[in-house]
Amino acid sequence: GNKSQDSGIAEMEELPVPHNIKISNITCDSFKISWDMDSKSKDRITHYFIDLNKKENKNSNKFKHKDVPTKLVAKAVPLPMTVRGHWFLSPRTEYTVAVQTASKQVDGDYVVSEWSEIIEFCTADYSKVHLTQLLEKAEVIAGRMLKLSVFYRNQHKEYFDYSREHHGNAMQPSVKDNSGSHGSPISGKLEGIFFSCNTEFNTGKPPQDSPYGRYRFEIAAEKLFNPNTNLYFGDFYCMYTAYHYVILVIAPVGSPGDEFCKQRLPQLNIKDNKFLTCDEEDGVMVYHHAQDVILEVIYTDPVDLSLGTVAEITGHQLMSLSTANAKKDPSCKTCNISVGR
């Protein structure tokens, strides 16, 4: 007879441990998970326990006591199983995941298997769908359009000297830093040169102050932005401030930058959008920019300094306005979308 019959407890076979875990269909806030397991006792599995952690917590006590329910208890559905919405998964973030199988008992307790091995994966950037949601939020606050005639770039004198001496008089694209939305597909990937185009309300000219150095390269708008360039929406963010930033990308048609953006960013109509327009009136190109956001324009090709002028500005260096590697305010209702963080 069964040796534990006297105690009224039937011995149960151990539940199969998940192995060979596979993560697929990764987005910025969801993924699919599947694994293999022995068929023995498989029919007793009623639930899966999934333990998901940001990778920086890898030294915390990973393997919890077997009887402690873990972060996600999911009904045992056919694999692969989609995981979304149970956590705020952040975009572009490394996670670890481990799984155990479980069998819910009559009294509501669970019998669980051993933990699987730990798998690491990284969530994806915002997709075009997410960026289009950001774009729509940015359009709401862009404000009316003001005229502009130049793009400008502020830097230290050394930067311009270096471009002249080492790059044949041309400013070179460099990789965009990690400022702005955490899920932005251009951060750390897109190469370009940052320009500003905002004008002072009363003068219609670029402001005299700058956070980026005392020297300013100024170039006629049509030399960078014209019907031979495409315009893309890149990001919308604020840094715990009252004003908001919109990043736009100008890429010469067919250039490497254009190909990069086509895959990843919403394209804007250069004549008709809420941020930066270029249109012909009586044979002359006319330019407008949104009044109520600070535009950061990335141009994806080298720019020869002979196409414009470099001069010292008369105003202050306002370091507080610098956006280098600035973190987006995750609590702002104006510029966050509900996906990820």
Give the CATH number, domain containing residue 108. Answer: 2.60.40.10
Relative to beta strand 294-299, strand 245-252 is: parallel
Please indicate, yes or no, whether residues 108 and 235 belong to a single structural domain of this protein.
Answer: no
State the pLDDT at residue 313: 82
What tokens appear for 192 in the block? 């370009």
Q: Does the pLDDT of residue 4 top 50, yes or no?
A: no
Please indicate, yes or no, whether residues 297 and 159 belong to a single structural domain of this protein.
Answer: yes
pLDDT class of 72 with cuts at 50, 70, 90:
confident
pLDDT class of 250 with cuts at 50, 70, 90:
very high
- Return the closest-CA partner of residue 160 out of 298, 295, 308: 308
Between CA 232 and CA 264 the distance in angstroms is 9
The reply to whether 97 falls in a domain is yes
The reply to whether 175 falls in a domain is yes
State the pLDDT at residue 324: 65
Between CA 231 and CA 233 the distance in angstroms is 7
Q: Does the pLDDT of residue 339 top 80, yes or no?
A: no
Between CA 80 and CA 33 the distance in angstroms is 5
Phi-psi region of 7 (alpha: psi -120 to 50; beta: other; left: phi over 0): alpha
Please indicate, yes or no, whether residues 180 and 273 belong to a single structural domain of this protein.
Answer: yes
pLDDT class of 11 with cuts at 50, 70, 90:
low
Which residues touch 273 (CB under 8 Å, ≥6 apart)?
231
Please indicate, yes or no, whether residues 156 and 285 belong to a single structural domain of this protein.
Answer: yes
Please indicate, yes or no, whether residues 141 and 277 belong to a single structural domain of this protein.
Answer: yes
User: Which one of 90, 123, 156 terminates a domain?
Assistant: 123
Helix (H) or strand (E) holding 135: helix 128-141
State the pLDDT at residue 89: 81
State the pLDDT at residue 67: 43
State the pTM of this model. Answer: 0.81
Q: What is the mean pLDDT of the chain?
A: 86
Please indicate, yes or no, whether residues 249 and 159 belong to a single structural domain of this protein.
Answer: yes
Please indicate, yes or no, whether residues 105 and 182 belong to a single structural domain of this protein.
Answer: no
**Domain tally for the chain?**
2
State the pLDDT at residue 66: 45
Cβ atoms of 143 and 288 closer than 8 Å: no
Give the C-alpha distances (Å, rounded to integers) separating 122 from 35, 180, 341: 18, 19, 14
3-class DSSP state of 224: helix
pLDDT class of 325 with cuts at 50, 70, 90:
low
Q: Does the pLDDT of residue 226 top 80, yes or no?
A: yes
Q: Does the pLDDT of residue 277 top 80, yes or no?
A: yes
Between CA 279 and CA 11 the distance in angstroms is 79
The reply to whether 317 falls in a domain is no
Q: Which residue has the higher pLDDT, 320 or 157?
A: 157
Cβ atoms of 193 and 238 closer than 8 Å: no
State the pLDDT at residue 304: 97
Q: Region 231-245: what's the mean pLDDT?
A: 91
What tokens appear for 49 in the block? 């326990």
State the pLDDT at residue 68: 43
Q: Which residue has the higher pLDDT, 149 or 207?
A: 149
Please indicate, yes or no, whether residues 144 and 99 belong to a single structural domain of this protein.
Answer: no
Please indicate, yes or no, whether residues 170 and 299 belong to a single structural domain of this protein.
Answer: yes
Please indicate, yes or no, whether residues 118 and 137 belong to a single structural domain of this protein.
Answer: no
Between CA 91 and CA 89 the distance in angstroms is 7
The reply to whether 5 falls in a domain is no
Please indicate, yes or no, whether residues 268 and 146 belong to a single structural domain of this protein.
Answer: yes
Say which range, 91-105, 161-175, 222-236, has the weakest mean pLDDT.
91-105
**pLDDT tens for each residue of 113-157:** 999 999 999 998 899 989 999 999 999 999 999 999 999 999 999
State the pLDDT at residue 269: 97
State the pLDDT at residue 8: 42
The reply to whether 209 falls in a domain is yes
Cite the DSSP H helix spans in 148-289.
Answer: 157-166, 221-224, 256-264
Buried-state track 248-286, b at ≥16 Cβ within 10 A, e below 16: bbbbbeeeebbebbeebbbbbebeebbbbbbeeeeeeee
Residues of the domain holding 306: 128-312
The reply to whether 320 falls in a domain is no
The reply to whether 2 falls in a domain is no
- Return the closest-CA partner of residue 254 out of 282, 278, 229: 229
Q: Does the pLDDT of residue 62 top 70, yes or no?
A: no
pLDDT class of 233 with cuts at 50, 70, 90:
very high
The reply to whether 80 falls in a domain is yes
Please indicate, yes or no, whether residues 106 and 133 belong to a single structural domain of this protein.
Answer: no
What tokens appear for 154 in the block? 């502020």
Between CA 72 and CA 79 the distance in angstroms is 16
